[in-house]
């Protein structure tokens, strides 16, 4: 029952996002054919507009778009008329997904590790060192970190390819650039969560049982400290998605992010809509999965309780 309710809310969310995007998009000044207006005769432009329903009133355009959307037809790109938006997404998704997932895994794994190490060495050298790294990670934005990584690892030391996509070596620098900030945020978050747990009474109970330090930290410390971090994966995911837009552009990676950015500059309405909807579906699904797994991991939250 709870799951059904959640799925309905998800569909509603996606519909609201799609509608808002549609409206906002129509209010961006400009025209997909602005650059063609000087070259092509007025009748031709008229015909092209009609092809994309752009001559209809906005309300009609909206209804037509939504009708296609429910059949998963996202229409054709205006820029490259032969390509459907679905195929653009299908082309770009693998690279974007690989980049995003690698960054997610690295940010989580290293971030948690750094946070735990810092907390276990509270107010000692390792703590200060970890938090120094974290503060750099948080304060240096990826569009500055990326060129720096390229300059040293690719240009000066020639260890890794400068840009583009293909082998796994190509993915190292963009992954690092993308993961840095979320990694740092997670590290700080995990550190404070871990420190808080360390002061809890149940840790004293476990200590009084005579457990070894390792068992104490893993079974009683980390397991509880990690719970609040899981709820943090949602916002993390959002920042990774927006991060890919920039990183894909800098490293010339053929992902969806690049099409998304280009489509906005070109007022390529179907691509803007299609990619936005794609990203929001992804996001809503992620939040759903996190929510469900949270309920599985934390015994105090029951799936049947229907929310609160």
Partner 1 sequence: MLERLLEVNNLEVSFKTYGGEVQAVRDVSFHVDKGEILAIVGESGSGKSVTVQSIMGLIPTPPGKIKNGEVLLEGQDLLKLSKRDMQKVKGSKISMVFQDPMTSLNPTMKVGKQIAESITTHQNIKGQEAKENAIDMIRRVGISNPAERYEQYPHEFSGGMRQRIMIAIALACHPKVLLADEPTTALDVTIQAQVLDLMKNLKDEMDTSIILITHDLGVVAETAERVAVMYGGMIVETAPVNELFNNPKHPYTWGLLESIPDIDAEDKKRLVPIEGAPPDLFSPPKGCPFAPRCKYAMDVCVEEMPPAFSIKDGHDAKCWLNDSRSPALKELVAAGRQFS
User: With contact defined as beta carbons under 8 Å apart, do 249 and 200 qualify?
Assistant: no
CA trace torsion 202, 207, 209, 213 (10° rounding): 120
Q: How many other β-carbons are positioned within 10 Å of the β-carbon of residue 122?
A: 12
Closest separation in Å from C-beta 202 to partner 1: 4
Binding mask 260-299 for partner 1 (x = CB under 8 A): -------------------------------------xxx
Q: Which of 207, 231, 285, 305 binds partner 1 (CB under 8 A)?
A: 207
Locate tokens 């778009």: which residue?
65
Is residue 300 a contact residue for partner 1 (CB under 8 A)?
Answer: yes
Determine the Cα angle at 295 with ends 304 and 98, to 5°: 130
Is residue 51 a contact residue for partner 1 (CB under 8 A)?
Answer: no
User: With contact defined as beta carbons under 8 Å apart, do 107 and 154 qualify?
Assistant: no
Is residue 193 a contact residue for partner 1 (CB under 8 A)?
Answer: no
Determine the Cα angle at 81 with ends 72 and 52, to 5°: 65
The stretch among 21-29, 31-39, 148-156, 215-223 that binds partner 1 (CB under 8 A) is: 215-223
| Residue 269 to residue 272: CA distance in whole angstroms | 5
Q: Which of 202, 218, 252, 296 binds partner 1 (CB under 8 A)?
A: 202
Q: Which of 121, 200, 239, 242 binds partner 1 (CB under 8 A)?
A: 200
Please choose, from the candidates 184, 201, 183, 196, the residue with its C-alpha nearest in 3D space to the C-alpha of residue 222: 196
Here the tokens at position 218 are 């893993």
Binding mask 221-260 for partner 1 (x = CB under 8 A): --xx--x---------------------------------
Q: Which of 9, 219, 285, 296 binds partner 1 (CB under 8 A)?
A: 219
Residues at the site binding partner 1, with contacts judged by CB under 8 A: 200-202, 204-212, 215, 219-220, 223-224, 227, 297-300
């Amino acid at each position: 029952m709870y799951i059904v309710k959640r799925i309905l809310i998800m569909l509603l969310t996606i519909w609201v996002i799609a509608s808002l995007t549609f409206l906002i998009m129509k209010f961006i000044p400009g025209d997909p054919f602005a650059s063609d207006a000087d070259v092509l005769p007025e009748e031709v432009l008229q015909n092209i507009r009609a092809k994309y329903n752009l001559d209809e009133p906005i309300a009609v355009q909206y209804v037509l778009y939504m009708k296609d959307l429910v059949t998963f037809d996202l229409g054709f790109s205006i820029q490259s008329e032969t390509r459907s938006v679905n195929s653009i997404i299908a082309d770009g998704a693998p690279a974007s997904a690989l980049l995003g997932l690698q960054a997610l895994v690295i940010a989580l794994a290293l971030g948690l590790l750094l946070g735990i190490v810092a907390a276990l060495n509270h107010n000692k050298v390792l703590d200060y060192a970890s938090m120094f790294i974290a503060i750099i990670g948080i304060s240096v934005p990826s569009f500055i970190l990326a060129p720096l990584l390229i300059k040293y690892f690719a240009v000066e030391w020639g260890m890794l390819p400068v840009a583009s996509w293909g082998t796994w070596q190509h993915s190292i620098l963009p992954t690092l650039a993308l993961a840095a900030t979320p990694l740092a945020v997670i590290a700080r978050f995990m550190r404070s969560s871990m420190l808080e747990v360390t002061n809890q009474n149940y840790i004293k109970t476990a200590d009084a049982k005579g457990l070894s330090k390792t068992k104490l930290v893993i079974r009683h410390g980390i397991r509880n400290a990690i719970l609040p971090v899981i709820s943090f994966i949602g916002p993390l995911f959002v920042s990774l998605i927006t991060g890919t837009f920039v990183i894909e552009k800098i490293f010339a990676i053929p992902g969806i992010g690049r099409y998304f950015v280009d489509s906005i500059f070109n007022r390529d309405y179907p691509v803007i809509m299609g990619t936005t909807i794609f990203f929001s579906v992804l996001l809503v699904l992620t939040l759903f999965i996190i929510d469900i797994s949270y309920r599985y991991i934390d015994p105090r939250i029951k799936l049947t309780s229907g929310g609160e």
